[in-house]
Structure 1
Amino acid sequence: MKYYTIAPPEILKPFVRFFWVLEHELSAREPEYVYRSIADSCTEMVFHYRAGFDEITEQGEQNSDPSGIQFQTDTYRRFITRESFGIFGAYIYPFAVPRLFNIPSSQTTNLALDYDTFLGCAGRELEERIILAQDNQERAGILSDFLLMRLRHNVKTDDRIITSIRQVIHSKQHQTVAQLADTFNLSVRQFDRRFKEYAGFSPKIYLRLVRLQNAIQQYNNHKTLTQIALECGYYDQSHFIHDVKVFTGYHPSFYFSGRAEGTEYRNANG
Structure 2
Amino acid sequence: MAGFRIGDDHPVELRAFPHPAVTVAVGFGDRPLDVHAEAGRIRSGGLVAGLGFTALRVRADGIQCVQVRLSPLIAHRVLGVPLAELRGGVVTLDDLWGRDTPRLRERLHHTRTWAERFAVLDAELRVRRQAGKPVDPEVAWVWRLIVAGRGRVRVSDLAARAGWSRQRLWSRFGAQLGLTPKRAAMLVRFDNAIHHLVRGRSAALVAADAGYTDQPHLHHDVRAFTGGITLASAAREPWLTVDARAWPDPVVG
Tell me which interval the TM-score lies in, with the shorter structure as reference length.
0.7 to 0.9
Q: 2:2 and 2:164 mapped to 1: Cα distance? A: 36
Q: Deviations over 1:85-120 (max 9, x none)?
A: 433111111122332233222222224222323211
Q: Normalising by structure 2, what TM-score?
A: 0.83
Partner of residue 49, structure 1: 28
1:213/1:87 Cα in 2 relative to 1: closer, same or farther (>3 Å)?
same
The partner residue of 1:262 within 231, 239, 243 is 239
Partner of residue 49, structure 2: 70
5 Å-filtered alignment, 1:229-240, equals 229-240=207-218
1:106/1:54 Cα in 2 relative to 1: closer, same or farther (>3 Å)?
closer
Q: 1:123 and 1:59 mapped to 2: Cα distance? A: 22
* 1:21 aligns to 2:3 (yes or no): yes
What amino acid does structure 2 have at the position aligned with 1:265? V
Q: 2:44 and 2:86 mapped to 1: Cα distance? A: 20
Q: 1:202 and 1:81 mapped to 2: Cα distance? A: 32
Partner of residue 80, structure 1: 59
Partner of residue 37, structure 1: 16
Q: 2:182 and 2:52 mapped to 1: Cα distance? A: 14
Q: 1:220 and 1:70 mapped to 2: Cα distance? A: 22
Deviation at 1:131, TM superposition (A): 2.9
Name the SS for the 1:139 alignment partner: helix
5 Å-filtered alignment, 1:162-201, equals 162-172=140-150, 174-201=152-179
Name the SS for the 1:34 alignment partner: strand
Name the SS for the 1:263 alignment partner: helix
Q: 1:129 and 1:235 mapped to 2: Cα distance? A: 50
Q: How many residues align?
A: 245
Partner of residue 206, structure 1: 184
Root mean square deviation, CA, Å: 2.9
Q: Deviations over 1:202-231 (max 9, x none)?
A: 011111111111112213433211111221
Q: Deviations over 1:36-74 (max 9, x none)?
A: 1112221111023345443346999x5724632222134
Q: Normalising by structure 1, what TM-score?
A: 0.78
Higher share of residues assigned helix: 2
Deviation at 1:26, TM superposition (A): 7.2
Q: 1:158 and 1:92 mapped to 2: Cα distance? A: 17
User: What runs of 5+ residues in structure 1 fail to find an aligned partner?
Assistant: 1-18
* 1:121 aligns to 2:103 (yes or no): no
Q: Deviations over 1:131-178 (max 9, x none)?
A: 332122111211122122223557364212102112212333611211
Q: Give the share of equivalent positions with the same residue, in percent.
A: 20
* 1:243 aligns to 2:221 (yes or no): yes
Name the SS for the 1:40 alignment partner: coil
Q: 1:103 and 1:58 mapped to 2: Cα distance? A: 21
Q: Are the aligned partners of 1:32 and 1:82 in contact in 2 as well (CA < 8 Å)?
A: yes
1:240/1:100 Cα in 2 relative to 1: closer, same or farther (>3 Å)?
same
Name the SS for the 1:123 alignment partner: helix
Name the SS for the 1:193 alignment partner: helix
Q: 2:132 and 2:245 mapped to 1: Cα distance? A: 41
Name the SS for the 1:75 alignment partner: coil
Q: 1:47 and 1:156 mapped to 2: Cα distance? A: 24
Q: 1:185 and 1:242 mapped to 2: Cα distance? A: 33
Q: Are the aligned partners of 1:44 and 1:70 in contact in 2 as well (CA < 8 Å)?
A: yes
What amino acid does structure 2 have at the position aligned with 1:99? R
Q: Are the aligned partners of 1:47 and 1:131 in contact in 2 as well (CA < 8 Å)?
A: no
Q: 2:42 and 2:146 mapped to 1: Cα distance? A: 37
Partner of residue 251, structure 2: none
